[in-house]
């Protein structure tokens, strides 16, 4: 990878001649708000030397931008050739491989053995309970919980906990079911508990892995150690009209049959690239436009960070047809988990009222994948009131972040250093709480996210189940479930056998590599596009003599404002699209899952009526 010089401030060049006129531009948000143009002499902006410097900078950034996309495509292909290994920033050893179990699943249990230059024995306090981090299986590969040193894995190790990590492999086992996955996770928890007697493991579940951990807590055997659910949806029908459109998408597509068709075309496998594409389509102004515009504008600073994240983002994994349909039918469409109707295995269902281990729910109002509505809305459904929750001998602690996005809950270094550290340092207090519902508040007067107690303090404010109320439009979504079941029955009986008959491993592999999420990456690699080798050579020459313009250059500031305006236009279009989806849903199903227009004020009491 070619080295790229960092953007540094350089003094403005002196004008070659005295200015004869002035050029008007708006400079800064204050002048824009007032609508008053600022007079800038050509010596600053309009001189030929300055314009030449700007267009030279644009040309250089353009070459470096396409070279970055070239390297991203090459990284993706090399990761594929290596078998898509987990992208953990820690050394580890394999403990159990569920592919060898009696009922195989494509999961494995790892033990983290080294932190930087320190080995496991140097930084682990065996008097502390082990932490088991389970990453989400939602389209991408494992590693996001230990993507970098300042992560969930890193914080747990720095706090002295023995740390284990649950990974999964790119291909599911043939016919793998959700029950097989849960049995594998159960075996992993038992093994960790055996290695650390009398210290029940703390389970960290990210997104999809959070509801998997909840299923383990709610099955017939249950769990004893605390479970931390990070951005984990348990109430799939909850959400706010115009803000969380994903919950109506199942109704607009006719239910689970589309996931079944996709898995049939994949020869019994559901391609995780579809889930990644859906994620990007939720907020294209951020996931698509701002990502690339920001890379182009700040190529000198953003290149390495972009490539590091994209290496994980573009590693797409598969789910089996059986488990994907189970998830869609029971969770996304059926919403059976919070109703206590979701089957685990023969004779056992997941009843959330059976959960006795403490639950810590971490959600964010900036998360449009799992908003607080979906992370907490199950509580008043499962428990009639606060007295009912206490009668079930349960302790539930929730904390919210006002702005961090979905992935930021797992990968943000700032969140890892403060919220996740605070959770780990407060585990003893959480387990000692009386039964009830509590909101965890973190007071950090220093503002430094890299701090420890007593630099920051944690308090637990008791809440009532009555404070956590969200409207869901249950009647409309019940009709969605009925439509989905009818469509799925028709597809399963009359269409699926024919699709499976004409699908071969060759056609499935062709569809994999023709997916736009992959094509848009690898077609810019020099392996597919020989012209990109010339871009790489040019980028190498530019990097050696790169002299970025200063960040406060007026034309760069104008460029940034233009990018922001384009992003605003895309956001407005996306908002209109979401509103049309909501309206179409209401027309189809007779009233929608809409909530009142005002949003609850984070991070206060969550009543929403």
For residues 124 and 55, the model is more confident at 55
In this prediction, residue 339 carries a pLDDT of 84
In this prediction, residue 400 carries a pLDDT of 93
The tokens 């390495």 sit on which residue? Answer: 304
Tell me the Cα Rg of the chain. 26
In this prediction, residue 471 carries a pLDDT of 66
In this prediction, residue 19 carries a pLDDT of 38
Per-residue pLDDT band for 144 (boundaries 50, 70, 90) equals confident
Per-residue pLDDT band for 594 (boundaries 50, 70, 90) equals very low
In this prediction, residue 58 carries a pLDDT of 96
Per-residue pLDDT band for 606 (boundaries 50, 70, 90) equals low
Per-residue pLDDT band for 118 (boundaries 50, 70, 90) equals low
Question: Which tens digits make up the pLDDT trace of 458-483?
Answer: 999 999 998 887 766 778 888 999 99
Question: Which tens digits make up the pLDDT trace of 273-311?
Answer: 999 999 999 889 998 999 999 999 999 999 999 999 999
- Averaged pLDDT for residues 500-505: 96
Contacts 24+ apart (CB under 8 A), 223-227: 223/189, 223/357, 224/200, 224/356, 224/357, 225/129, 225/200, 225/201, 225/357, 226/202, 226/357, 226/358, 226/359, 226/360, 226/427, 226/430, 226/431, 227/202, 227/203, 227/357, 227/358, 227/359, 227/360
pTM: 0.86
In this prediction, residue 370 carries a pLDDT of 87
For residues 22 and 199, the model is more confident at 199
- Averaged pLDDT for residues 330-337: 86
**Contact yes or no for 265/508 (Cβ under 8 A):** yes
For residues 370 and 23, the model is more confident at 370
The rounded mean pLDDT for the chain is 85
Nearest C-alpha neighbor of 340 from the set 290, 392, 296, 387 = 392
Per-residue pLDDT band for 33 (boundaries 50, 70, 90) equals very low
Beta strands in 372-498 (DSSP E): 395-401, 436-443, 457-463
Question: Which tens digits make up the pLDDT trace of 534-564?
Answer: 999 999 999 999 999 998 899 999 999 999 9
For residues 586 and 30, the model is more confident at 586
In this prediction, residue 367 carries a pLDDT of 86
Nearest C-alpha neighbor of 582 from the set 285, 234, 258, 243 = 243
The answer, yes or no, to whether residue 62 has pLDDT greater than 90, is yes
Percent of the chain at pLDDT > 90 equals 59
- Averaged pLDDT for residues 379-404: 93
**Contact yes or no for 200/435 (Cβ under 8 A):** no
**Contact yes or no for 225/201 (Cβ under 8 A):** yes
- Averaged pLDDT for residues 7-36: 39
Per-residue pLDDT band for 242 (boundaries 50, 70, 90) equals low
Per-residue pLDDT band for 406 (boundaries 50, 70, 90) equals confident
Buried b (16+ CB within 10 A) or exposed e, 575-587: eeebeebbeebbe
The answer, yes or no, to whether residue 595 has pLDDT greater than 60, is no
The answer, yes or no, to whether residue 211 has pLDDT greater than 80, is yes
In this prediction, residue 143 carries a pLDDT of 87
Per-residue pLDDT band for 250 (boundaries 50, 70, 90) equals confident
**Contact yes or no for 284/371 (Cβ under 8 A):** no
DSSP assignment of 121-167, as one string? HHH--TTSPPEEEE---SSB-S-GGGSSSSSHHHHHHHTT--EEEEE
Structural domains in the chain?
A: 91-253+316-473 (3.40.50.1820)
């Amino acid at each position: 990878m070619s080295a790229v010089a960092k953007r540094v401030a350089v003094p403005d060049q002196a004008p070659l001649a005295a200015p004869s006129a002035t050029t008007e531009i708006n400079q800064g948000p204050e002048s824009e708000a007032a609508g008053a143009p600022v007079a800038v002499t050509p010596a600053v902006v309009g001189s030929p030397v300055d314009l030449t410097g700007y267009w030279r900078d644009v040309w250089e950034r353009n070459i470096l931008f396409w070279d970055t996309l070239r390297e991203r495509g090459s990284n993706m292909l090399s990761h594929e050739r290596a078998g898509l290994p987990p992208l953990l920033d820690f050394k580890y050893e394999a403990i159990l491989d569920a592919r060898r179990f009696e009922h195989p699943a494509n999961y494995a249990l790892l033990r983290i053995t080294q932190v930087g230059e320190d080995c496991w024995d140097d930084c682990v306090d065996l008097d502390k309970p082990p932490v088991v981090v389970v990453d989400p299986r939602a389209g991408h590969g494992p590693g996001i919980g230990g993507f970098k040193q300042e992560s969930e894995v890193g914080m747990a190790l720095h706090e002295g906990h023995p740390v284990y990590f649950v990974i999964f492999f790119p291909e599911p086992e043939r016919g793998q079911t959700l029950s097989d996955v849960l049995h594998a996770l159960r075996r992993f928890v038992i093994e960790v508990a055996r290695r650390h007697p009398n210290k029940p493991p703390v389970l960290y579940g990210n997104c999809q892995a959070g509801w998997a951990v909840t299923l383990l807590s709610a099955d017939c055997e249950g769990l004893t150690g605390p479970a931390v659910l990070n951005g984990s949806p348990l109430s799939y029908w909850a959400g706010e009209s115009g803000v969380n459109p994903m919950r109506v998408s199942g109704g607009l597509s006719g239910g689970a049959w589309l996931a079944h068709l996709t898995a049939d075309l994949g020869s019994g496998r559901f391609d995780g690239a579809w889930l990644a594409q859906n994620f990007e389509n939720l907020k294209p102004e951020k996931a698509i436009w701002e990502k690339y515009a920001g890379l182009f504008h700040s190529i000198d600073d953003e290149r390495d960070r972009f490539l590091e994240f994209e290496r994980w983002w573009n590693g797409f994994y598969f789910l089996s047809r059986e488990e994907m349909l189970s998830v869609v039918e029971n969770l996304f469409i059926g919403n059976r988990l919070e109703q206590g109707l979701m089957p685990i295995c023969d004779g056992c269902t997941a009843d959330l009222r059976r959960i006795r281990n403490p639950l810590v729910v971490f959600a964010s109002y900036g998360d449009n994948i799992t908003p607080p509505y979906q992370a907490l809305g199950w509580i008043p459904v499962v428990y009639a009131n606060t007295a009912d929750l206490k009668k079930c001998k349960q302790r539930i602690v929730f904390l919210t972040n006002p702005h961090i996005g979905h992935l930021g809950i797992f990968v943000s270094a700032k969140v890892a250093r403060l919220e996740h550290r605070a959770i780990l340092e407060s585990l003893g207090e959480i387990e000692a709480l009386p039964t009830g519902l509590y909101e965890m508040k973190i007071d950090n007067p220093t503002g430094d996210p890299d701090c420890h107690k007593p630099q920051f303090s944690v308090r637990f404010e008791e809440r009532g189940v009555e404070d956590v109320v969200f409207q869901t439009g249950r009647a409309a979504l019940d009709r969605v479930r009925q439509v989905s079941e009818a469509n799925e029955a028709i597809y399963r009986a009359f269409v699926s056998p024919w699709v499976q008959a004409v699908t071969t491993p060759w056609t499935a592999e062709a569809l994999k590599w023709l997916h736009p999420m992959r094509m848009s990456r690898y077609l810019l690699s020099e392996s597919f596009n020989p012209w990109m080798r010339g871009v790489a050579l040019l980028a190498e020459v530019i990097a050696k003599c790169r002299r970025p313009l200063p960040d406060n250059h007026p034309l760069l500031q104008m460029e940034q404002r233009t990018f922001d305006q384009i992003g605003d236009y895309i956001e407005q279009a996306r908002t209109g699209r979401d509103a049309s989806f909501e309206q179409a849903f209401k027309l189809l199903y007779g009233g929608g899952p809409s909530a009142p227009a005002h949003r609850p004020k984070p991070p206060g009491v969550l009543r929403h009526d």
